[in-house]
Structure 1
Amino acid sequence: MKQKYFQPALLSLAAAVAPGIQAETVLLEEIIVTAQKREQSLRDVPAAVSAITAENVEDFLDAGENIRALAGRVPSLQIESSNGRQSPRFYVRGLGNYDFDVNATQPVSMIYDDVALENSVLKSIPLFDVAQVEVLKGPQGTLFGRSTTAGAIKIDSVKPSDELEGYAKLSYGSRDTISTETAISGGLTDTLAARLSIKYQERDAWIDNTANGSGDDFGGFDELAYRLQFLYKPSDDLTALVKVHGFNQDGDQPQVFYANAFTPGVEGLRSGFDVERAGHDAQGGYEMDQFGSSAKIEYQFNDVMLTSITSYDTVESFSLADVDGGIQGGPEAIGVLNAQAFFSSSSGDGLSDHYQFTQEFRLSGETDKFFYMAGLYYMDEEITVDSINYDNAGTLLDLTQQEQQTTSAAIFGQIEYFVTSQLAVTAGLRYTEDDKELEVIPGPGSTAPADTIDASDEYVSWELAANYDVTEDFTVYSRLATASRGPVTLGRFGFTSQADTEENTSFEIGTKMDLFDGRARWNATVYTFEVKDQQLTATGGVGNTNELLNADKTTGSGFETDLEAYVTDNFKLSFNLSYNKTEIEDSNLNVELCSATPLCTSLDPIVDTFAGFYGPVNLVSVDGNALPRAPEWMYNIILDYTIPLQSGEIYLQTDWNYRSESSIFLYESVEFVAEERWIGGAKVGYTSADGTLDVALVGRNITDEIVADGALDFLNLTAFTNEPRFVGVELSKRF
């Protein structure tokens, strides 16, 4: 065994966090990730990567939650949506995109079973029967390509097995939430195995709409998702995995908006706010139908692996909401909770036509001192976006369509060279060509002019990294990397805009170490980045539209750390912490301040004022502001304790997640703040000795903390919130 030069100091630090750690027999399992498109120990990857186990994913998704429940569960990860259960938006190290358009691109890619899902609506696919979730932080431009300037969320589902096995799970809880999930896997022949996975969730209406008197009027949904996989292995050299999957979703409100949820000049939800009471005098609802398929073929000839991944996905969706979130009135409604003065806004957006096709080929091989990978990638996406305004009775007022085609082609490669048995150096390069064509098509009632935008660019991304094993338990790494997000276009309701390609250059150094002979694990990273021509979105202001912008640059820096340890055989501690500091640096970047009644209270300097449809419009400078939706501090702690019994074990678990406040929009104001929050969960259950039976009592947001999670700024001080307390029971059986 090599000498552990730094072990005494590390032991002291870890013991300070978890002073009860003892020389017990339970060890942490090695974390295997595919962050570099091959299976590796997490210690061998020269980058900041966090893995969320299948068990933890299941726990976080209790209460009928979706992927947003993973926010903050690993360092620097934030997830939110102004469309409720649709179109989640991801942020890593403060970088993300809070644009609510259904054709908006994000700097954090979602890669589901090796396929990058481009459109935000596609990313609504629920998590179920998941093997692992990996969060890749920092630019991922070499292997994963376009739209990964901030990072990537990589999700892998459980694959078919030859042996007959599976599970069934049923849960019921608050707001009449029902969730069922099942999977079965087994061999069909000596060379063919299959796995079928199904998930169904529903919730009853639980929010009283004061526009209709008393009673539960909305907040309900139902969702059905399925996945069927076939694994064909006729020889040791050839493997083919074919998958078909689909998702159907219906609900009565995509997002519940609360008019005048803020008091002018005061941060936080106003006194008297009740998450179970809203005032909507217009219709709402949402639906989505998604279908996709993919084929991954791997063939080993000599010392070279050929991999082909082909995918096709299509989705239709539509969301309609009472956007103003209040009951229409006159001057007396100004500033009144759940009321809207003078006029109403009811609008809907959706994809009436969509498809995405991707194809990737790659070759890889390795020797004792060398690994290489080279590949080709192509993506073609075509969408038709419907943007519709309605009156309160649900009659169509105007329809404007956008037709957009996005193509992306790339050639990429990566090499890893082992200079010594302790030092490995990695280099990667990718050349990408992107093209976007957008056409605005005015429909019935639309006053928008017909318009077209054609934006294209070609760019190179690269990375250099090194991984050094100081001892067999202690690794240090450094990484310098770039990634680009190609040109983007928007045309909602005919308001066209575009932004040029952005490029992120990031440098990070970190450590990964095992402590106490494998009973604890501690990782830490510090980083800095600079994004040139960052693509930003100015939302709202004086209308229900978005505008794309480029900032000269945005800078950021921070640190991340996580600790996992068995304090005793029966007590496990998991903790992570991140600090992310971002700043927009552009002295000429000005955006519209909220311009409806009542006005928000600006914290930014006003640089110009001009007349608008609803009154004076103020332009404010956002130079020096932090990025929106970028909390500086996030941390998460999970405590697991088990009590052994002769027939099995009782387990007790609690998890607590903290997020500091952040601005909701590019400008800073007193009111429009995503508030700091502590969200806690708890779970008490029993598992049989053979691990096949599990029954549990589950609690989510057990302190019932309700805060503003987001807002709309073009009408009044309208907000939406997080989910209230949930309590439920669940039963699962494995076979």
Structure 2
Amino acid sequence: MKARAIRFGVSAFALVWCGSAVAQTAPSSTDSAQSGAPQTDTTAAAESSQSDPGHDIVVTALRRNENLMTTPVAASVLSGADLANKGVVAVDALQFAMPSVVVNNFGQGLEFNIRGIGKGEHNTQTTTGVITYRDGAPTFPGYFQEEPYFDIADVQVLRGPQGTVVGQNSTGGAVFVNTADPIVGGGYHGYFNANYGNYNDLGGQGAVNIPISDTLAARAAFYGERRDSFYTITGPNGGAYNGNKGDVREIAGRFSLLWKPTANLSVLSKTDIDYLDMGAYPADPYTDRFAVLPGTTTPNPNARDLFNITANSPQGARDKFVRSILRIDYQFDSGLKLRSVSGFSNGNTQYMADLDGTATGNSYFFDSVTETQFSQEFNLISPDDRRLTYLAGVFGLWNSYFFLSPYQFVIGAPLGAPKTEYRLQGRNPERSLAVYGQVGFKITPTLKLELGGRYTASRSTNTVDILQYGVYLPDQQTVTSNNFSYKASLGWQVDRNNYLYGFVATGFKPGGLNTPVGLGIPAPFGSERVQSYEAGWKANFAGGHIRTTVDGFYNDFKGFQVIIGYPTIPVFGIEVNVPNSTKIYGAEADADVKFGHFSFDFGVNVLHSSLGQFFATDSRLPAPTACSIAAGPASASCIDLKGREQTYAPNFTINAGAQYDFEFGNGDKLTPRVNFGHIAPQWATLFENPQLGDRLGERNILAAQLAFTHGSFTVTGYATNLTNQHYVAALNSSLDFAGPPRQYGVKILKTF
């Protein structure tokens, strides 16, 4: 269901460099290597993703074990240790740990963009162009974005269109989060981590590998955190605010089973259960951001710090869900592999918000939405060591949003007044079916051509009832989107230290439905499509001590989905497609350096975006005349948006980290580390009106930690957002949501 300007909030827990929990290096990798037990794809990737000279970085997201340095794709692979060192505990923090990634978090939904492509509108009907997978199965596309990272083997982020080798199509990229697998024959081993910091931040996580038999092993992992709010909230007339201020209470667990009855067959199941009470997503009007009233020299009497706000409506934000994944691999004696990945998820999200962000207004939002999803993927994968390789796959995804009755989706001003409320109930089922494949051929031992294609058939249906200002509006609509996308790449291993590649690829994101706003049944919006060109150079220097990747990309983006003012009554919003092409292009570079005890990592992205011509009305401003998206005419209210920048597409991002290991006798080690992430200013809307808060300032996040290891114990002191930068992390419904302030504390890790 399209829910414009209401699915918002900011994670005050894990947006940047949060030290409240540690993404633990998967003990399975090290212990497996020590025990000589066989490794799964995931644990192998976790171990080899370290930047030690002579170790290959293995990417498994492409359904094979491939050396990242000789694979024609731009990607970042972070092991569990890398995540801990960079302070990445949830998806938000990835933007400060790798190039080209930007996340603007509204709590139970977010805009995740890679190279400026992904999702630019905050509603559930707009699907994301960046697909997130957990242990091989796609996750919920709309809600439930705050799932913490714990007991992680690795995170692999692929940039650019994906779809000819993985389950779901994408326009911007894909994120693969792989948790640690059980190890058959690995004995008992695991870890426990506890932390305490300011804001009474108390957390813990751990995992244990459990041997059951010679062919069966289990792994149990848990996570928990409680933290007081970052905010000071004042209620009506300067009195106390009695609602939830954003106190975090979270608990999650995972149970995994791995059965290997023969050398050819592997059956892996994982079940996650999460109860994530984020407390609330407090926010205040964007006007409170300005020290001086926009366009004047008059001091703003309502100017206030982002963490010192007012409210009078109740607030809340709670997700609970369960997810089960079953992966079956069978390898024939010839090396041909048959793989099945099944995923099922069911969850409920509840959200309450003060929509005007003040203690005097009366605008309020509440919803309770249940979402279910089932996905099934089958792959036939040829052996990796052949001159001719191939992969064939079929994929199906069925996702449904249930907007619970009686009308548990409410926008009220005030609540309980039917003539001024918008209420909704019903369901929105979506379906995506696809068949795809890719063939690789080594023209010479060092030159490889790969060709892939994918056909996708998607469908979305609204079966909902709406009460808009006391008027009943039924909505029964269906929209379908079909697409063929492709990829053609050429990779040349010049020598053992240099690899060149280039490709052309297309990506696809399905269209969706607009809900009625008293003006009849609105037209659906169409699909987004992108054609991407990329070339890159991957190199090793100094005997593998320095690894670098440099690439350039050009995207011709058609059908960009955007919300504008309704052409005849602009106070309402409608989602449409930009009729002309948007151009997004740029370059990236990253490097990993390791000399002895010193290591350094670096990533940078430079991006330019330019919208194709179309006309639109900003629904936040008065509009006396109608405005045609294709013909205008241009006026003060009918704005020509040609050449405007893509939303959430900053023109520059950079990340860097450095550490040094001081080793003492008896295996003791002291490791200081510093991390820095910079994201340039970005636009939150296509209208680029700074007086309405559209310009989000730059983010400069500095963090440091000092770890001391003695035997199986590691004690770490950490500090995040060291400069205590108070910055706007997201803008929605004219409200500012703050990124988390400085946090500091201590963590204690015990491995066994």
Shorter-chain TM-score tier: 0.7 to 0.9
Q: How many Å separate the matches in 2 of 1:191 and 1:76?
A: 42
Q: Is the CA contact 2:144–2:319 (under 8 Å) kept in the aligned structure 1?
A: no
Match of 2:638 among 592, 596, 619: 619
Q: How far apart are 1:459 and its partner, in Å?
A: 1.3
Q: How far apart are 1:382 and its partner, in Å?
A: 1.6
TM-score (norm 1): 0.86
Q: Is the CA contact 1:489–1:548 (under 8 Å) kept in the aligned structure 2?
A: no
Q: How far apart are 1:677 and its partner, in Å?
A: 2.1
Residue of structure 2 equivalent to 1:708? 728
Match of 2:676 among 656, 665, 687: 656
Alignment length (residue pairs): 670
**1:99 lines up with 2:121 in the alignment:** yes
Q: Which moved more, 1:418-427 or 1:588-597?
A: 588-597
Residue of structure 2 equivalent to 1:325? 357
1:14-413 correspondence to structure 2 within 5 Å: 27=53, 29-61=55-87, 66-83=90-107, 86-144=108-166, 146-162=168-184, 163=186, 164-211=188-235, 213=239, 218-258=245-285, 260-263=287-290, 264-265=293-294, 272-303=303-334, 304-328=336-360, 343-351=361-369, 353-366=370-383, 368-385=386-403, 386-390=408-412, 397-413=421-437
Residue of structure 2 equivalent to 1:570? 597
Q: How many Å separate the matches in 2 of 1:685 and 1:204?
A: 25
When you count strand as a share of all residues, which structure comes out higher? 1
Q: How many Å separate the matches in 1 of 2:52 and 2:346?
A: 46
**Counterpart of 2:581 in 1: which secondary structure?**
strand
Q: Is the CA contact 2:96–2:676 (under 8 Å) kept in the aligned structure 1?
A: no
Match of 2:504 among 454, 457, 480: 480
**1:733 lines up with 2:750 in the alignment:** yes
**Counterpart of 2:284 in 1: which secondary structure?**
coil
Q: Is the CA contact 1:222–1:249 (under 8 Å) kept in the aligned structure 2?
A: yes
Q: Is the CA contact 1:259–1:325 (under 8 Å) kept in the aligned structure 2?
A: no
Aligned pair in 2 of structure 1 residues 356, 718: CA closer, same or farther (>3 Å)? closer
Residue of structure 1 equivalent to 2:490? 466
For structure 2, list consecutive stretches of 5 or more residues without a partner in the other structure.
1-50, 624-630
**Counterpart of 1:58 in 2: which secondary structure?**
helix
Match of 1:678 among 690, 700, 711: 700
Residue of structure 2 equivalent to 1:719? 736
Q: Is the CA contact 2:363–2:415 (under 8 Å) kept in the aligned structure 1?
A: no
Q: Which moved more, 1:119-128 or 1:198-207?
A: 119-128
Residue type at the aligned position of 2:124: V
Aligned pair in 2 of structure 1 residues 558, 266: CA closer, same or farther (>3 Å)? farther
Q: Is the CA contact 2:377–2:396 (under 8 Å) kept in the aligned structure 1?
A: yes
Q: How many Å separate the matches in 2 of 1:454 and 1:251?
A: 34
Q: How far apart are 1:28 and its partner, in Å?
A: 6.1
Superposed CA offset, 1:428-458 (max 9, x none): 1111111111123125965351122211122
Q: How many Å separate the matches in 1 of 2:202 and 2:135?
A: 27
Aligned pair in 2 of structure 1 residues 189, 95: CA closer, same or farther (>3 Å)? same
Q: How many Å separate the matches in 2 of 1:730 and 1:492?
A: 51
Residue of structure 1 equivalent to 2:44? none
Superposed CA offset, 1:77-136 (max 9, x none): 1112123xx323210001122322234311111111111124221433221111111111
Q: Is the CA contact 2:86–2:675 (under 8 Å) kept in the aligned structure 1?
A: no
Q: Is the CA contact 1:492–1:545 (under 8 Å) kept in the aligned structure 2?
A: no
Residue type at the aligned position of 1:232: W
Q: Is the CA contact 2:307–2:738 (under 8 Å) kept in the aligned structure 1?
A: no
Aligned pair in 2 of structure 1 residues 148, 227: CA closer, same or farther (>3 Å)? same
Q: CA RMSD in A?
A: 2.7
Q: How many Å separate the matches in 2 of 1:509 and 1:439?
A: 45
Residue of structure 2 equivalent to 1:640? 659
Q: How many Å separate the matches in 1 of 2:118 and 2:219?
A: 35
Residue type at the aligned position of 2:309: A
Q: How many Å separate the matches in 2 of 1:421 and 1:537?
A: 50
Q: How many Å separate the matches in 2 of 1:55 and 1:727?
A: 20
Q: How many Å separate the matches in 2 of 1:316 and 1:585?
A: 39
Aligned pair in 2 of structure 1 residues 543, 719: CA closer, same or farther (>3 Å)? farther
**Counterpart of 1:231 in 2: which secondary structure?**
strand
**Counterpart of 1:109 in 2: which secondary structure?**
strand
Q: How far apart are 1:274 and its partner, in Å?
A: 1.7
Aligned pair in 2 of structure 1 residues 702, 157: CA closer, same or farther (>3 Å)? same
Q: How many Å separate the matches in 2 of 1:92 and 1:198?
A: 30
**Counterpart of 2:589 in 1: which secondary structure?**
strand
Q: Is the CA contact 1:105–1:118 (under 8 Å) kept in the aligned structure 2?
A: no
Q: How many Å separate the matches in 1 of 2:510 and 2:468?
A: 33
TM-score (norm 2): 0.84
Aligned pair in 2 of structure 1 residues 215, 478: CA closer, same or farther (>3 Å)? same
Q: Which moved more, 1:360-369 or 1:306-315?
A: 360-369
Superposed CA offset, 1:599-649 (max 9, x none): xxxxxx99667xxxxxxx933222210111110000001011121111411
Q: How many Å separate the matches in 1 of 2:517 and 2:98?
A: 38
1:525-564 correspondence to structure 2 within 5 Å: 525-538=551-564, 547-564=575-592
**Counterpart of 1:419 in 2: which secondary structure?**
strand
Residue of structure 1 equivalent to 2:25? none
Q: How many Å separate the matches in 2 of 1:52 and 1:543?
A: 45
Residue type at the aligned position of 2:713: L
Q: Is the CA contact 1:423–1:467 (under 8 Å) kept in the aligned structure 2?
A: yes
Residue type at the aligned position of 1:169: N
Q: How far apart are 1:724 and its partner, in Å?
A: 0.6
Aligned pair in 2 of structure 1 residues 424, 260: CA closer, same or farther (>3 Å)? same
Match of 2:649 among 616, 630, 639: 630
Q: Is the CA contact 2:634–2:640 (under 8 Å) kept in the aligned structure 1?
A: no
Q: How many Å separate the matches in 2 of 1:121 and 1:718?
A: 20
Residue type at the aligned position of 2:349: S
**Counterpart of 1:585 in 2: which secondary structure?**
coil
Q: How many Å separate the matches in 2 of 1:194 and 1:493?
A: 52
Residue of structure 1 equivalent to 2:716? 696
